[in-house]
Amino acid sequence: MSPIALTDSELRELRQIAETIPWDLRPNFLERVAAKLRGQEIGAGVIYRVAHAVAREMIYETGRRAMG
């Protein structure tokens, strides 16, 4: 799997969003974001939209598991 090239500002944005995810789930978060970015043209707003969508999915899944 080849790395995804991000600018400094895109990487900073991704790190800020990752901080909202519990520490133990961050590797999974980053893997999901990378999977969704593969094959996409990375430009203005793409990192933000994809990372926030993945974060929402993970928070929703975590809440559902906690509720049983």
- Answer yes or no: is pLDDT of 1 > 70: no
Q: Tens digits of per-residue pLDDT, 24-57?
A: 999 999 999 999 999 888 887 999 999 999 999 9
Query: Residue 64: what pLDDT?
Result: 67
- The residue among 27, 38, 33 whose CA lies nearest residue 56 is 33
Query: Residue 44: what pLDDT?
Result: 74
Cα gap 54→58, rounded to integer Å: 6
Query: Residue 21: what pLDDT?
Result: 93
pTM comes to: 0.83
Strands in the chain per DSSP E: none
